[in-house]
Structure 1
Amino acid sequence: MKTKLAALTLSALLTVTACGGGGGDAPAAQGPQPLRMTIWTSNEAHLKLFKEIADDYRKTRPETGEITFDPLPFENYTTTLTTQIAGGNPPDLAWILENSAPDFVGSGALVPLKSKIQNPGELVPAATKLWEKDGELFAYPFSTSPFGVFVNTDLVKAAGQKTPQELIKAGQWDWEHANEINKAVAAKGKHGLTIWDFDYKGWDNLATIWRGWGATAYSEDGTACRFNSPEMVEAMTFLHTMIFKDKAMPAPGTVADFFAGDAAMVVAQISRAAMLEDGEFGWDLVPLPAGPKGEYAVIGQAGIGVLKKSPNAEAAADFLAFFTDEANSAKLAAYFPPARDSLLTAETMAKTSPLLKPEQLQEVVIDGIETGVVKPGHTGQAELAQTVRASLDALWVADADVKTVLDGVCAKIQPMLGA
């Protein structure tokens, strides 16, 4: 019930939060002031880097106390963040998911940043679009990360299949060929394709598949449901067949960890490469397979915002400026593709991403940022996301009627789209 309530009230809550004013109304605190940033990663390599940057910042700022990075579970990140805000315990800074950007940016709950960050003019316009309103920047796009496919080349070869890299050279890297590889691997006793953070709940990650059919969740102006469009029905039918007939993707309730060597492929972003540092199998990173509409790219994005309700909003904005300056953006690029044009070269990123080859960075990241579309988002996305997820539950059974299920999704969410 708490999850549903938080989702239903996210947009309204943020508006009330913004109207309530910032931390400037609170009495001035004495002594070094701590800062807290909510994040959704608990990866040790990420946290180590964040702490190093924070320690460097504090060396010349005695007025700043301890800077902590507070990992929250990804699957209910926005709900937990909203609950903290509602409970009067907002973080000073917060990572914000791309699908929550319309609510956070539109509500006025965030501190304007354009005058505070270093060289805002070199930020790639495609990376800042989600986080801008009326010419102002309300969150820094610290990660603009296209999805790619990590491949266990050992499993692919053991199943007698051509590797994706071989298919790319032959002009045959598409979903039909990818499906054949995953079917063959699954027939040998391992698993085929997995999609990071999907687990039959995070449906927006399926955009990494359906965009190959030209499908979208909503119309461009956001007023119409597109889940039952012919393109979406075709894409979801392919996915359903892949799961329940071809067995090329683990069925609901099945745990398959690519990074433990259990699956042939995983659709994920380059930040996951750190999990392969001590890997015991051969692997590759390639772009998403082409779909019937040709080649495409899908981007997952995250911004860092400063909450107006933070009692240390000014100090938090100053730390954000330091955290995202050119030098630190170059360090963060090891895991989180930067928004700064000067850093968006394969050669530059390869210096801080030693696990990835320059050609992998070029094909998946650089080219993906230039041509990709961001995962679906919408004002009121928290409520929409839960409604879509519940409506799609009927799809994840072997005898589902795909068109009927998708018609049901639109019947549920069309009244929520404001048309």
Structure 2
Amino acid sequence: MKYLLATILCALAVLSVVVSALKPGAPPPGKTPLVWVSDNNPQRAPQIESFNKLYPDCLLALDPNNTGITKVIVQTCAKVGPDIIDVYGIHQLQTYVDAGVVLDVTDVAKQRGFDPSVTYPKAEGEITIDGRQYCFPCNVNTNILFLNKNLFDKYGVPYPPERPTWDELVATAAKLTIRKPGSKLPECFGMASIGWEELVYMAGGRFFNEDGTRCVVDSPEAIRAFGFYQDLMYRYKVMPTPLEQSAMSSQGGWGTGWRNWFGSQKIAMIAIGKWALITFRQFADEQRQERDQWLHDHPGQEYPDLPPLRMGAVHLPRFVDQPNRCIIAARSAAVNRLSPNADKAVNFLEYLASKEYCDTINEGADALPGNTKYATLDYMQRFAQKGEGEEINRLTLEATQWGIVRELSPFVDGQTALRLITTQVQRLEASPDADVADVCRAAAQDVNEEMKRNVAGEVRLQMLWNRLTMKRTQAT
């Protein structure tokens, strides 16, 4: 262990030297430099430009090359980390809080207008842990079911109701999964991108019990969800299996990934967030250009292909005995607690709640803005483009009312738990013969064993575990 610690310390020392050498030169007089670790989305440039205009004493710059959690934590502990950190969901926030690298902004958020009351009530759990606020949303997402209206019209299939049940959706998807004799792949799949994590919540299941001392993905509700997930691929055959996905990626005309398959009009329905419009708009523009060029080159003839992508939407389906549920998630920004410029970096969280920033989210269709003031239907429709039904914005907004934040356990890192469960779920994805209950029991056991190892290795967790389990025993 001592050699491992020594190696880590040496790595930190070397990293400090390297990063310091790579830092840009001194900023102009009177400006505090700030570094934001985020992805290189095209919207980042206007967002940074807008921030620098609103806060002229700051000079914000993007770092898209150091977004890994481990890298951020190591650099931050070495005091060469970014000033502002993107946080993808509550599981990442849990990791950063446990590592002690993000600033508690509870009090300053109330003073400066970016506390949880400004965002969606159901999203509060994405930016707080144990009642303390550590970040503010850059955007907020709820999935809906996008429809390719061209495919519905081509095959004469009626659009589904706005709040469909799974029975209704499977029947619709079956009519839109078009298989031709002798072809290994359908001409079109009925649906795609249905996630097992969301299905567990839809079925009334959970990932942990109330006090977080046990993983419960072996419950009857979770088993039902995972069984249905397997059925979509192998019983109903309306969603691509992993093997079919691989074949689709290698076959010409399909491209790679759910968004590309929907955008290229090979999938009729896809469960995804409004942020996917960034990609879908590109497909629609390209298809429109191709159609216009073809019509120009063939005057008087009818265009032989599908029209440019036309989209509609309905809510994610519900099980007939359950209410609507979906996951609500946020990409948020937090401040590096160890940054010498932490006080200036807080300006960025305030900026995320501003009209200027929220307008960039609406213009780019990058999910919902964090401040609900700029997320009314009328306001967002100002930014909608041709071919996008108003229901996309309306249903995305409505879904925030029944959104569920992913659960946390204090005894296991959320990302670790999902990784362990995913490993077992891959058995369901790979074979129709995999026993669903067995997979669920194995997944729960793997997570519970990880929790026990964590508890055994840390006195603080042992004390919390004993207190919670004793409280539960007394209650029964």
Indicate the residue corresponding to 2:200 in structure 1. 210
Unpaired segments of 5 or more residues in structure 2? Answer: 9-25, 180-186, 250-256, 285-307, 456-464, 466-476
Which has the higher Rg, Structure 1 or Structure 2?
Answer: 2
For the pair 1:184 / 2:175, whether they are aligned, the reply is: yes
For the pair 1:96 / 2:87, whether they are aligned, the reply is: yes
For 2:191, the aligned partner's letter is: L
Distance (Å, rounded) in 1 between the aligned partners of 2:122 and 2:272: 20
Distance (Å, rounded) in 1 between the aligned partners of 2:311 and 2:119: 32
Indicate the residue corresponding to 2:450 in structure 1. 416
Question: Is 281-290 or 215-224 further displaced after alignment?
Answer: 215-224
For the pair 1:360 / 2:392, whether they are aligned, the reply is: yes
Q: Within 5 Å, which residues of 2 pair with 1:9-408?
A: 31=28, 32-40=31-39, 42-44=40-42, 47=43, 50-59=44-53, 63-70=57-64, 77-82=68-73, 84-85=75-76, 89-98=80-89, 99-114=91-106, 115=108, 117-118=112-113, 120=115, 121-133=117-129, 136-164=132-160, 167-168=161-162, 173-188=164-179, 189-195=187-193, 205-253=195-243, 254=245, 255=249, 257-278=261-282, 279=284, 280-292=308-320, 293-333=322-362, 334-354=365-385, 356-362=388-394, 364-379=395-410, 380-398=413-431, 399-408=433-442
Displacement of 1:34 in angstroms is 3.6
Change (3 A) 1:30 1:97: closer
Change (3 A) 1:154 1:94: same
TM-score by length of structure 2 reads: 0.70
Kept in 1, the 8 Å contact 2:145–2:269? The answer is: yes
- Alignment deviations for residues 96-127 of structure 1 (CA, whole Å, 9 cap, x no partner): 12222233345542123341543535344432
SS in 2 for 1:187: coil
Higher relative contact order (CA 8 A, sep 6+): 1
Unpaired segments of 5 or more residues in structure 1? Answer: 10-28, 197-204
Distance (Å, rounded) in 2 between the aligned partners of 1:112 and 1:325: 20
TM-score by length of structure 1 reads: 0.78
- Alignment deviations for residues 336-376 of structure 1 (CA, whole Å, 9 cap, x no partner): 313334233211222234465444322x2222112211234
Kept in 1, the 8 Å contact 2:313–2:391? The answer is: no
Change (3 A) 1:72 1:266: farther
Displacement of 1:325 in angstroms is 1.9
Distance (Å, rounded) in 2 between the aligned partners of 1:215 and 1:223: 16
Kept in 1, the 8 Å contact 2:146–2:311? The answer is: yes
Indicate the residue corresponding to 1:21 in structure 2. none
Q: How many residues are treated as equivalent by the alignment?
A: 373
* Percent identity for Structure 1 against Structure 2: 18
Change (3 A) 1:134 1:210: closer
Change (3 A) 1:281 1:55: closer
Indicate the residue corresponding to 1:17 in structure 2. none
Kept in 1, the 8 Å contact 2:84–2:335? The answer is: yes
RMSD of aligned residue pairs (Cα, Å): 3.1
Indicate the residue corresponding to 2:252 in structure 1. none
